[in-house]
Amino acid sequence: MAAPSTPDLMSTIVSLAKRRGFIFQSSEIYGGLNSCWDYGPLGVELKRNVKEAWWRAMVHSRRDIVGLDASILMHPDVWKASGHLSGFTDPLVDCKNCKERFRADHLSDLKTCPKCGGELTAVRRFNLMFKTFMGPLEDDSATVYMRPETAQGIFVNFLNVQQSARLKPPFGIAQIGKSFRNEITPGNFTYRTREFEQMEMEFFVPVAEDEQWYDYWKHARREWYMSLGIKPEKLRMREHAKEELAHYAKACCDVEYEFPFGWSELEGIANRTDFDLKQHSEHSGKSLAYFDEETKQHYFPYVIEPAAGADRATLAFLVDSYAVEGEGKEARTVLRLHPSLAPIKVAVLPLVKRDGMPEAAEKIYADLLKNSVRSFYDHASSIGRRYARQDEAGTPYCVTVDSQTLTDETVTIRERDSRVQYRVPAATVATTIAAKLKEASA
Ligand code: ATP
């Protein structure tokens, strides 16, 4: 059995995601809400694991980065200072004939509809920020915005964090949280949505060190995806041309992944210079300059920002791990997810539902749960079908209790990728699996 061809691969992934409880359409029973998605029991674990892997790499394993969890709603002046109120716009055109809407910067011909050949409207600029009102009055003075990026919460807290945690550049502040953009052309499943989660880190550096840290983070972020199993040939780094750079950026490079719909941005690494700290100092009237105790001088550090999307990364891990292997009866669909990302780490399977096997399996299951290993117990249908279900969910290990277990208290461990099976004492399953998981994430 061959893997589906490229155009079909996305629809195969979307239907697997729904069938197995990774991702559902939001408000499906009401016909769905365009570009909004809900993560089901397996999806929520996968996405949490992605975020935890990011937090481990960016915060817990480092001495120079701390975390922050800022509010989604911020003072409206934040968005004036950051440039989002005036500049966070996309150019859009509509087809007068089929009514389809396009981003003008995605079209080569601004006159003719690429879908039906109809005439296009003139280009209009459209602000991507969602607006709402704070308090009971729905007037201009009560307008607030749903943040379109998490970064600004970090910039306005720069001195709070630096002083309370007593940090000295180079140091970073990391944040994971929801952002909202009223995208003109959402699509490609969870790739471009209007509500999404970002994983952003602002790394504040002495001005003279900006280029060195920019190179460092470009390298580190590419490595991160590969360390979690993304195939290197599916990743590339795309340095932005000067004309493409945002107004605040001195340089920017995207980590791109080859999705079934083509090479697309997973993450952007930007040199944001001192733009944001200076803008907020000016607009708030409170200087966010850092005081260097050694030189006794104030200065605005430069900022290197690796900005990733939790949903895009989750989608890339899902797509990249998907494989169809073997022929005929041997054929299987498998998600070769890295063990630290897999939603379920181990499935416990009694071979049959009698002869004391469920009891022995239940004991192992309880032991795994006690050791906080995310596990699943399944006694329904043939053992082959149960293995197949776990392969498709990306579960790296299955533990099978069979008749031999009842005589010598050993069980079989089956590994997802190699399908190798070996016996271990039932009492050591939890420690064996925990050691394997630790080894895989080392
Ligand atoms: P794009 O060019 O795809 O619109 P961007 O360059 O505007 O993305 P950034 O502002 O750099 O994106 O945001 C950082 C990251 O946040 C992106 O690399 C992506 O992973 C994620 N992200 C941004 N917009 C969306 C969206 N609409 N849906 C899902 N993730 C998003």
CA atoms within a 13 Å half-sphere pointing along the CA-CB vector of 430: 16
Please identify which residue in the block is written with the tokens 């602002």. Answer: 202
The rounded distance, in Å, linking the Cα atoms of 114 and 123 is 15
Which residue's CA is the nearest one to ligand 1's atom 7?
268
Share of the chain above pLDDT 70, in %: 98
CATH 3.40.50.800 range(s) for the chain read: 344-441
- Measure 336 CA to ligand 1 centroid, in angstroms: 26
The Cα-based distances of 353 to 119, 268, 402 in angstroms read: 66, 52, 10
| pLDDT tens digits along 96-146 | 999 898 889 888 899 999 999 999 999 988 889 999 999 988 888 899 999
**Which of 256, 275, 60 has the alpha carbon at shortest distance from 176?**
60
Which residue's CA is the nearest one to ligand 1's atom 18?
267
Amino acid found at 13: I
The pLDDT of residue 125: 85
- Token code pair at residue 115: 């879908």
- Measure 394 CA to ligand 1 centroid, in angstroms: 27
Which residue's CA is the nearest one to ligand 1's atom 11?
268
Q: Are 350 and 401 in contact (CB under 8 A)?
A: yes
CATH 3.30.930.10 range(s) for the chain read: 6-76+147-318
Give the atom of ligand 1 at the shortest distance from the alpha carbon of 197.
30
- Best mutation site among 88, 312, 317 for ligand 1 pocket (most ligand atoms within 8 Å of CB): 312
- Measure 223 CA to ligand 1 centroid, in angstroms: 20
The Cα-based distances of 35 to 27, 28, 31, 183 in angstroms read: 11, 12, 12, 9
Give the atom of ligand 1 at the shortest distance from the alpha carbon of 200.
14
Which residue's CA is the nearest one to ligand 1's atom 16?
309
DSSP 176-213: EEEEE---SS-BTTTTB-SEEEEEEEEEEE-GGGHHHH
- Measure 312 CA to ligand 1 centroid, in angstroms: 8
Q: Which helix H or strand E contains 223, and what residues bound it?
A: helix 210-227
The rounded distance, in Å, linking the Cα atoms of 373 and 352 is 24
- Measure 311 CA to ligand 1 centroid, in angstroms: 10
Please identify which residue in the block is written with the tokens 């701390």. Answer: 66
- Measure 176 CA to ligand 1 centroid, in angstroms: 14
Q: Are strands 297-299 and 235-239 parallel, antiparallel or unpaired?
A: unpaired
- Measure 309 CA to ligand 1 centroid, in angstroms: 7
Which residue's CA is the nearest one to ligand 1's atom 3?
265
Other Cβ atoms less than 10 A from the Cβ of 347: the count is 24
| Residue 16 φ then ψ, to 5° | -60, -40
Other Cβ atoms less than 10 A from the Cβ of 68: the count is 20
The rounded distance, in Å, linking the Cα atoms of 341 and 350 is 25
The rounded distance, in Å, linking the Cα atoms of 295 and 292 is 6
- Fold (topology level) of 6-76+147-318: BirA Bifunctional Protein; domain 2 (3.30.930)
- Measure 268 CA to ligand 1 centroid, in angstroms: 8
What's the CATH number of domain 344-441, 2.160.20.10, 3.40.50.800, 3.30.1490.20, 3.30.300.30?
A: 3.40.50.800
Q: Which helix H or strand E contains 332, and what residues bound it?
A: strand 332-335
Which residue's CA is the nearest one to ligand 1's atom 14?
307
Q: What 3-state DSSP class applies to 114?
A: coil
Which residue's CA is the nearest one to ligand 1's atom 25?
192
Where do the DSSP E strands lie in 164-315? Answer: 171-180, 195-205, 235-239, 251-259, 262-273, 290-292, 297-299, 302-309
- Measure 352 CA to ligand 1 centroid, in angstroms: 49
- Best mutation site among 192, 193, 245, 304 for ligand 1 pocket (most ligand atoms within 8 Å of CB): 192
- Best mutation site among 200, 252, 265 for ligand 1 pocket (most ligand atoms within 8 Å of CB): 265
- Measure 183 CA to ligand 1 centroid, in angstroms: 10
- Token code pair at residue 283: 């607009």
Per-residue tens of pLDDT for the chain, all 442 residues: 555 556 589 999 999 999 999 999 999 999 999 999 999 999 999 999 999 999 999 999 999 999 999 999 999 999 999 999 988 888 899 999 998 988 898 888 999 999 999 999 999 888 899 999 999 888 888 999 999 999 999 999 999 999 999 999 999 999 999 999 999 889 999 999 999 999 999 999 999 999 999 999 999 999 999 999 999 999 999 999 999 998 889 999 999 999 999 999 999 999 999 999 999 999 999 999 999 999 999 999 999 999 999 999 999 999 999 999 988 878 899 999 999 999 999 999 999 999 999 999 999 999 999 999 999 999 999 999 999 999 999 999 999 999 999 999 999 999 999 999 999 999 999 999 999 999 987 7
**Which of 357, 363, 373, 348 has the alpha carbon at shortest distance from 427?**
363
- Measure 413 CA to ligand 1 centroid, in angstroms: 41
Is the N-terminal amide bond of 170 cis, ω within 30° of 0? yes
Give the atom of ligand 1 at the shortest distance from the alpha carbon of 198.
16
| Residue 392 φ then ψ, to 5° | -75, -20
Q: Which residues contact 428 (CB under 8 A, 6 or more apart)?
A: none
- Measure 252 CA to ligand 1 centroid, in angstroms: 13
Q: Are 184 and 92 in contact (CB under 8 A)?
A: yes
Give the binding-site residues of ligand 1, using a 6 Å CB cut-off. 149, 181, 183, 192-193, 196, 198, 265-268, 307-309, 311-312
